Structure 1
Amino acid sequence: MTLAPGKKKEKLDRLAELSAVRDDEQGVSLWREAMRRLRRNPSAIIGAAILVIFVLVAVVGPFLVPYDPVDQSGIREGVIKPGSIPGSSGEHWLGYDHQGRDEFSRLIVGARQTLIVGIVSTLIGLTIGVLIGGVAGAAAGLGGRWGRLVDSSLMRIVDMLLSLPSLLLAVSVAALLGPSLVTVMIAVGMVSVPIFARLLRGSMIAQANRDYVLAASSLGVGNTKIAMNHIIPNSLAPVIVQATLTLATAIIEVAALSFLGLGNPDSTQPEWGLMLADAQVYLDVRPGLAIYPAVGIIVTALGFTLLGEAMREALDPKLRR
């Protein structure tokens, strides 16, 4: 029995509607889906807003500060006296510090120092950790007996670093190299090396068991090419998330090393951890000298943590709602 031309066209149109894929049902990439979920996450929005403000203050702020952060105008004008440090005023919004310098200007300029040290130390740990973890993961996932030997050797080194508490490891490295800004970057970077190495290795081993690796191997693609072109790029998502979280930890650890006297020996250069250390003697006179840099450290670390946790949830397929 043949259908009438009109009914046949209607049936074909209905089948076309049923088989068509709507725009909101089309497949999207992992990163596009993650960005879409981040835009709906309040924690991600708050964290990103904090970081944007922090970066703007660190980059642009030093050019707009009202006073030279190393100028001891308070001592020169005689307003700093034993047991008395002037607080906020119309000219000096956060008052003076113990050496007669404008506290607001030092706080703004110190944000740049904190940002640079935190980013550089994280990049040091990320670079070395990705190198170790990438070699170990490729050797474990695609290598034979020699691959397992290389993986085992590298992971024992990483395990030794992981066995030490992070702050103790940073203090040990800083004490060996001597107090300086470069020392702080290296010390904090070394703390995060085993974290990145372990994370990338585990992610690469998981990716090595995927079907696309088997398909590439069956087509005759070499192990090195598979690892570099396919496994490593698909394994970097958790590492990038961890780098965001590590930035928060790096800022706190940089401040801790400066607080312990292992940071920049030049106390005239503003840095939040050093400012916090200098303010301990004057807590009973001007507690604000410790509160201002402490709040800066806490809020900045909170911003990186909120954004990092939101990215982790957005990239985790198990947590998709």
Structure 2
Amino acid sequence: MSARTDRLDRLAELAAEHADERGQSLWREAYARLRRNPAAIIGGVILGLFVLVAIIGPFLVPYSPTSTAWSNQVSEARNIIPGPSADHWFGIDHNGRDEFSRVIVGARQTLLVGVVATGLGLTFGCLLGGFAGACYGLGGVRGRRIDNLIMRVVDMLLAMPSLLLAVSVVAVLGPSLITVMIAVGFISIPVFARLLRGSMIASSRAEYVTAATSLGVRRWRIAVGHVLPNSIAPVLVQATLTLATAIIEAAALSFLGLGNPDPSVPEWGVMLTDALTRLEIAPRLTIYPAVAIVITAFGFTLLGEAMREALDPKLRK
């Protein structure tokens, strides 16, 4: 009896010592882990520089990205395309435009395409997956039938190759920068939908859902107010990773000639397409936009993987 009393007294003392300490939320703990993760720091720095260049870069470039003032220095017939110099750090392209200015200004278009496309996919994917997950987890027999119908449509979209699906969307709507955003966002909808639906189904089996149901809380209120907020973390991580693939897929569509029909507008995918026919004369024209795409996608991937490790209990270090 005395031993048990001693243990209780010890527990009381520990409780008193830590009475002022407060527990941390999932996001606060994840942020603390991200700050200690080298991959997250590197990815954040890369993305910070990318966003900074996209926002203020067009105001700092030495020349207009559409100016062809140096076209008299270019002669493709004689394989002359001037390279880097003191006045033109990346040289001049085949139309006599400053390549450095076009790469910097092209970052804004690339960022716009990636963010808008990911935002479209995230929004409609969450609406679709959230509704399906709520129907399955809390909607009874009728709800599971609705979930089954939605998921079969999602499975059909997932069964198609993403690039082929994007090309089909562009072929229907016509080539343009807006169409590329819609197409890239459309192919990411089923990924977000299935991910959120699975996360909500797992969360619907938690004890707090059983407790809320026993107290008479309405099912849809439980789904929207409790299950959905606790299921959104993996979807946000996937959005970070999707930004990287969205930039690559948008560049691929532009590379296929399905992007902005105006080649004078600087965008990394379009620049890569234009430079392909001059690969033997000036291979550097393909290197600059390609390296920019790779580094940007690498930054998004590093940050996304670090977020996944920070938010997933199974992967926490």
TM-score (norm 2): 0.94
1:284 CA displacement: 1.1
1:141 aligns to what?
A: 137
1:80 aligns to what?
A: 74
In the TM superposition, 1:226-241 aligns within 5 A as: 226-241=222-237
Secondary structure of 1:258 counterpart: helix
1:25 CA displacement: 7.7
Q: Does 1:27 align with 2:23?
A: yes
1:137 CA displacement: 0.2
- d(CA) in 2 for partners of 1:293, 1:207: 43
Identity %: 67
- d(CA) in 2 for partners of 1:132, 1:171: 23
- d(CA) in 1 for partners of 2:134, 2:11: 48
- d(CA) in 2 for partners of 1:173, 1:181: 13
2:155 aligns to what?
A: 159
What CA deviation, in whole Å up to 9, does each residue of 1:112-166 have, x standing for no partner?
0000011000011111100110110000000112101100000000000000011
1:115 to 111, 117, 128: 111
Unaligned runs of 5+ in 1: 1-12
- d(CA) in 2 for partners of 1:156, 1:55: 38
State how many pairs are aligned. Answer: 308
- Which deviates more, 217-226 or 235-244? 217-226
- d(CA) in 1 for partners of 2:10, 2:121: 58
Query: Structure 1 residues 23 and 279 mapped into 2: Cα distance closer, same or farther (>3 Å)?
Result: farther
- d(CA) in 1 for partners of 2:226, 2:163: 36
Secondary structure of 1:282 counterpart: coil
Q: Say what the alpha-carbon RMSD is for the aligned residues.
A: 1.7
Secondary structure of 1:233 counterpart: coil
**Aligned letter for 1:256?**
A
2:6 aligns to what?
A: none
1:97 to 93, 96, 102: 93
**Aligned letter for 1:172?**
S
**Aligned letter for 2:253?**
L
2:310 aligns to what?
A: 314
**Aligned letter for 1:50?**
I
- d(CA) in 1 for partners of 2:314, 2:231: 16
Unaligned runs of 5+ in 2: 1-8
- d(CA) in 2 for partners of 1:231, 1:40: 30
In the TM superposition, 1:190-229 aligns within 5 A as: 190-229=186-225
User: Which has the higher Rg, Structure 1 or Structure 2?
Assistant: 1
Q: Which runs of 4+ in 1 moved over 4 A?
A: 13-17, 20-26
- d(CA) in 2 for partners of 1:190, 1:320: 32
**Aligned letter for 1:79?**
Q
Query: Structure 1 residues 268 and 146 mapped into 2: Cα distance closer, same or farther (>3 Å)?
Result: same
What CA deviation, in whole Å up to 9, does each residue of 1:44-97 have, x standing for no partner?
00000000000000000001111010000111xx21112110001111111101
1:169 aligns to what?
A: 165
1:290 CA displacement: 0.2
**Aligned letter for 2:151?**
M
